[in-house]
Structure 1
Amino acid sequence: MEHIELFFKSIFIDNMVFATFLGMCSYLAVSKKVSTAVGLGAAVIFVLAITVPLNWLLDQYLLQPGALTWLGEEFADYDLSFLSFIMFIATIATMVQLVEIVVEKFSPALYNSLGIFLPLIAVNCAILGGSLFMQSREIATLGLALNYGVSSGIGWFLAILAIAAIREKIRYSNVPPALRGLGITFIITGLMAIGFMSFGGMLTGGDEEAPVEETTVKVEEPQKDSEQEKVVANNIKVNE
């Protein structure tokens, strides 16, 4: 249940673009065509799916205070958390370089259409934000870290795919001159953010009904007449 909740919350409620506005530069620049948006979105999913679990392992077994206890008790007091940014960025840059090599090898057309934005994934704040959010939310297991990386990438992919499809359609719409270009794109992005975050009411369960406590009412039985009262009552009847 925890994996399912994290998966859908990362896609819709905590979407990288619509909730935290991370990765907006690539989101706006590469969303003019659906084909390029799909390619970049798939690359972001791959990079997040690899870097978030790797950075989770680095954080758990190297960077956190006391994480080096597996090397021996003399390393228990070491704290390398100040190296988090450097280690995370190094991991991300390595994976992005791998993605660039693979895309250039198997899809030269996509590589040329993405241009400078493919290597710029290394400095995409959405990629680094995924690892930092993983760290700040104290994700407990490697499986949850992988789940968070994949779901965050899917959320970013859906965002750029949706805006690219809309921007292709509004080319033929009668948009006011003052709003053409980025103006109407920002307005549409805001409306899409409202739509995505509205899923919060569906994924957040309703208040659990408080258990009804059964109350028992004790009915006191009328006290019996004492022996003396019975004797008095009998004497009154005899006298009558």
Structure 2
Amino acid sequence: MEHLELFFKSIFIDNMVFATFLGMCSYLAVSKKVSTAVGLGAAVIFVLAVTVPVNWLLDQYILQPGALTWLGAEYADYDLSFLSFIMFIATIATMVQLVEIVVEKFSPSLYNSLGIFLPLIAVNCAILGGSLFMQSREIETIGLAFNYGISSGIGWFLAILAIAAIREKIRYSNVPAPLRGLGITFIITGLMAIGFMSFGGMLTGGDEEEAKEDKTAQVEAPVKEETKKEIANNTKVVE
């Protein structure tokens, strides 16, 4: 259940583009055609699916305070958390370089279409944001980290795919001159963000019900204690 909830929340509610507006540079520049948007989106999914679990391992066994205890008791006081950004970016750059080599080898046309934005995935704030959000959420297992990486990538993929499909249709629409280009794109992005965020009510309803049940249990507990005391007092009086 935890995996499923994290998966859907990362795609719809905590979407990288619509909730935190990360990766907007690539989102706006490579969303003019669906074909290029699909290629970049797939690359982002792959990079996030690999880098988030790898960075989770680095965070758990190297970077966190006391994470080096597996090397020996004398390393228990070491705190390398100040290296988080450097280590995360190094991991991301390595995976992006691998993706660039593979795309250039097997799909030269896609490689030429993406242009400079393919290597720029290495400095895409959405990719780094995935690892930093993973760290701040204190994800407990590598399975959840992998889940979060893939679901965040799928969320970014759906965002750029949707805006690319809409922008292809807009070319044949009568858009007012002042709004043509990025103007109408930002307006559509805002409307899409509202639509995606509306899923929050569907996925957090269970949490609210659980909270109400906890409050009810907390209120009922003192009442039960008072009832027991009254029964005990009445029993003493009768005796």
The size of the alignment, in residue pairs, is 219
- State the Cα deviation string for residues 176-220 of structure 1 (Å, max 9, x = none): 00000000000000000000000000000242454696999x9x9
1:175 Cα shift? Answer: 0.4
Q: Percent identity at matched positions?
A: 90
Q: Distance in 2 between matches of 1:194 and 1:18?
A: 8
**Aligned amino acid, residue 57 of structure 1:** L
Q: Distance in 2 between matches of 1:83 and 1:183?
A: 39
Answering whether residue 115 of structure 2 is matched by residue 112 of structure 1, we say no
Residue number in structure 1 paired with 2:156: 156
Q: Distance in 2 between matches of 1:141 and 1:199?
A: 26
**Aligned amino acid, residue 178 of structure 1:** P
**Aligned amino acid, residue 65 of structure 1:** P
Q: Distance in 2 between matches of 1:84 and 1:174?
A: 48
Residue number in structure 2 paired with 1:86: 86
Residue number in structure 1 paired with 2:75: 75
Q: Distance in 2 between matches of 1:78 and 1:138?
A: 19
Q: Distance in 1 between matches of 2:128 and 2:152?
A: 12
Q: Distance in 1 between matches of 2:96 and 2:164?
A: 23
Residue number in structure 1 paired with 2:10: 10
Task: Describe how 1:161-176 pairs up with structure 2 within 5 A.
Answer: 161-176=161-176
Q: Distance in 2 between matches of 1:119 and 1:75?
A: 37
- State the Cα deviation string for residues 136-195 of structure 1 (Å, max 9, x = none): 110000000000000000000000000000000011011000000000000000000000
Answering whether residue 37 of structure 2 is matched by residue 37 of structure 1, we say yes
Structure index of larger Rg: 1
User: Structure 1 stretches of 5 or more lacking a match?
Assistant: 221-240
User: Structure 2 stretches of 5 or more lacking a match?
Assistant: 235-239
Q: Distance in 1 between matches of 2:137 and 2:15?
A: 15
Q: Distance in 2 between matches of 1:121 and 1:86?
A: 16
- Structure number with the higher helix fraction is 2
- SS of the aligned residue for 2:48 comes to helix
Q: Which runs of 4+ in 1 moved over 4 A?
A: 211-216
Q: Distance in 2 between matches of 1:173 and 1:86?
A: 46
Q: Distance in 1 between matches of 2:7 and 2:184?
A: 30
Q: Distance in 2 between matches of 1:104 and 1:146?
A: 26
Q: Distance in 1 between matches of 2:177 and 2:97?
A: 40
Q: Distance in 2 between matches of 1:185 and 1:113?
A: 20
Q: Distance in 2 between matches of 1:37 and 1:150?
A: 17
1:68 Cα shift? Answer: 0.2
TM-score scaled by length of structure 2: 0.88
- State the Cα deviation string for residues 109-133 of structure 1 (Å, max 9, x = none): 0000000000000000000000000
Residue number in structure 2 paired with 1:51: 51
Residue number in structure 2 paired with 1:236: none
Please report the RMSD computed on the Cα atoms of aligned residues, expressed in angstroms.
1.7
Q: Distance in 2 between matches of 1:26 and 1:57?
A: 28
- SS of the aligned residue for 1:31 comes to coil
